[in-house]
Amino acid sequence: MLSSAPMIEDQVAAAIPLVVDLDGTLIRSDLLVESFFQSFGDDWLAPAALLRPLLRGKAQLKAAIADRTEIDPSELPYDEAVLARIRAAISQGRKAYLASASHERYVAAIAAHLGLFSGWFASDMTRNLSGPAKAARLVEAFGQHGFDYIGNDEADLPVWAAAATPIGIRVAPGTRRRLSRMAPQAEFLPSERASLTDWLKLIRVHQYAKNALIFIPLLTAQKFQAASFLIALTAFIAFSLCASGVYILNDLVDLAADRCHPTKKNRPLAAGTIPPFEGIVAACLLLCSAVIIGATVSPMFLGVLVAYFALTSAYTFALKRKMLVDVIVLAMLYTIRVIGGAAAVDVPMSEWLLGFSMFIFTALALIKRYTELSVRLDGDLPDPSNRNYKIGDLPIVATLAAAAGFNAVTVFALYISSDTVHRLYRHPLLLWLICPILMYWIGRALMLAHRRMMHDDPIVFALKDWRSRVCVGMVGLILLAAI
């Protein structure tokens, strides 16, 4: 006669509920970090308003942030391995519960959206449901070793200790060893760590080409000494690291909006490939490195670098939501790179170069906005929530872009007639050949944007477009011939 023991064991296992953590487990993100940066992006004075709740404890802080922000559960980066484990447990007749240190408003919304959980546990106004507090609450509900638990963090160790079967995902090596020693029966779900490509994508290495603007004062002043080039190269590295740090902060602020965007949803933070906290650490390291390297260039250059950081931070947290102010600030951020190059190699900043830079970069910023609005028009998407533009603004944005671009050509033409050119170039008349090249490139960029053939970043487009590279090469040859 067959033994009934296996059947009894299966019945007991089926009776054990599966409890799932939220941040870093069910979703590849952290709602506290996300909601904090979202509140900061909505109101740059938010940190000051949150100071009092913070002093009252983490539970009060989470409640205050939840009162200021909303989440869209349908756009969060859910982990498919965890979802599969939940569905498998439910198919076996087991109940699943969501248990999180996040605020109850978020947890309830996510549980309702997924429709998989029989109940949920979360932080409220008085209790932060994390670590020992979460373990005690689950033991109270299900008994010691009366539940299985999926978690990811060191804070989950007390909960794993109280669980029948501890299950981990994305567990740090040190925490994984401690869990394995504590509970040999622990299981670990498969997960992928961020690759080098993901990190390079996060810090926007491809955007470093913009910082080549630092070399323009060196070239226009014709300071071709090796020492000057090395100083400019050091300045380039400092600006690149600073820009990468700010890009990460910008992504943290724009997480919700990026997840609704056709292409930006694939950014590492928005997609959950890299956790928000790791992004914060990376941004701090990059910014600190930029300051240290910038200080080795010169005090003047360091001042320009700090000004760039201040302006780009103001753009990230406030000015990007102001119509037209945003494109003017973007143009200023490009121009500051040129000013930084002049400060690094200690040459006077040309007023002609300053004027040309402001107009050409305002045109590029407007083309960028035009492209973003075009994507929304073609995709039948609503007006952008994080920009003060409407899809109906497309014609005027295109007009402004064309005006700014061709004004840049006018400034360059006037520069050719200046005394400065005659001092620097033996054959200044050759410089007139650059004007039709500029007109062609600007006009073509506008046409391609209108035909929906433009990348959402015109600088990236220029790097990949062979005609743009030919234009740059021709301008370089003309400059050399004119010297």
Statement: residue 4 has pLDDT above 50: no
In 3-state terms the chain splits into helix, strand, coil percentages (rounded to 5) of: 70, 5, 25
Q: Of 64, 89, 69, 65, give the one whose Cα is nearest residue 14.
A: 89
Chain centre to alpha carbon of residue 59: 27
Statement: residue 6 has pLDDT above 50: no
User: What whole-number distance in Å separates Cα of residue 342 and Cα of residue 353?
Assistant: 11
pLDDT value of position 385: 66
pLDDT tens string 305-321: 999 999 998 998 888 88
pLDDT value of position 375: 83
- What Å distances lie between residue 287 and 37, 211, 230, 283, CA to CA? 18, 16, 21, 6
Evaluate if pTM is beyond 0.85.
Answer: no
Residue ranges of E strands in 274-395: none
pLDDT value of position 1: 31
Name the CA dihedral angle for 375, 197, 232, 430, rounded to a multiple of 10 degrees.
-50
Domain with CATH 3.40.50.1000 in the chain: 11-188
pLDDT tens string 266-296: 999 999 999 999 999 999 999 999 999 999 9
pLDDT value of position 14: 57
pLDDT value of position 5: 36
Positive or negative, the CA dihedral 337, 342, 344, 345 is positive
pLDDT value of position 105: 95
Taking each helix axis from N to C terminus, what angle separates 325-345 and 351-378, rounded to the nearest 10 degrees?
140
- The answer regarding whether domain 196-482 maps to CATH 1.10.10 reads no
Statement: residue 10 has pLDDT above 60: no
Q: With cut-offs at 50, 70 and 90, classify the pLDDT of residue 121.
A: very high
Q: Mean pLDDT across the stretch 352-367?
A: 92
Statement: residue 9 has pLDDT above 50: no
pLDDT value of position 106: 96
Q: With cut-offs at 50, 70 and 90, classify the pLDDT of residue 461.
A: confident
pLDDT value of position 193: 86
Least confident of 8-12, 141-145, 195-199, 352-356: 8-12
pLDDT value of position 11: 46
Statement: residue 203 has pLDDT above 90: yes
User: What whole-number distance in Å separates Cα of residue 276 and Cα of residue 446?
Assistant: 36
3-state secondary structure 360-401: HHHHHHHHHHHHHHHHHHHCCCCCCCCCCCCHHHHHHHHHHH
User: Which residue would you say has higher pLDDT here, 386 or 101?
Assistant: 101
Instruction: Quote the tokens at residue 41.
Output: 């992006």
The CA-to-CA distance between both ends of the chain, in Å, stands at 101
Q: Mean pLDDT across the stretch 443-467?
A: 86
pLDDT value of position 316: 84
- DSSP-derived pairing of the beta strands 187-188 and 119-123: unpaired
* Burial of 138 (C-beta count, 10 Å sphere; 0-12/13-18/19+): buried
Cβ atoms of 165 and 185 within 8 Å: the answer is: yes
Q: Mean pLDDT across the stretch 204-211?
A: 88
Cβ atoms of 38 and 255 within 8 Å: the answer is: yes
Percent of the chain past pLDDT 90, that is, above it, reads: 65
* Burial of 437 (C-beta count, 10 Å sphere; 0-12/13-18/19+): middle
Instruction: Quote the tokens at residue 233.
Output: 């190269």
pLDDT value of position 386: 66
- DSSP-derived pairing of the beta strands 187-188 and 166-168: parallel
Q: Which CATH number fits domain 11-188: 3.40.50.300, 3.40.50.1000, 3.30.110.70, 3.40.50.970?
A: 3.40.50.1000
User: What whole-number distance in Å separates Cα of residue 308 and Cα of residue 225?
Assistant: 27
Q: Mean pLDDT across the stretch 242-264?
A: 90
Domain with CATH 1.10.600 in the chain: 196-482
Q: Count of alpha carbons within 13 Å of 102, Cβ hemisphere only?
A: 29
Statement: residue 12 has pLDDT above 80: no
* Burial of 161 (C-beta count, 10 Å sphere; 0-12/13-18/19+): middle
Give me the amino acid identity at 252. Answer: L
User: What whole-number distance in Å separates Cα of residue 16 and Cα of residue 145?
Assistant: 9
Q: Mean pLDDT across the stretch 416-432?
A: 87
User: What are the two backbone dihedrals, phi and then psi, of residue 145, each rounded to the nearest 5 degrees?
Assistant: 55, 30
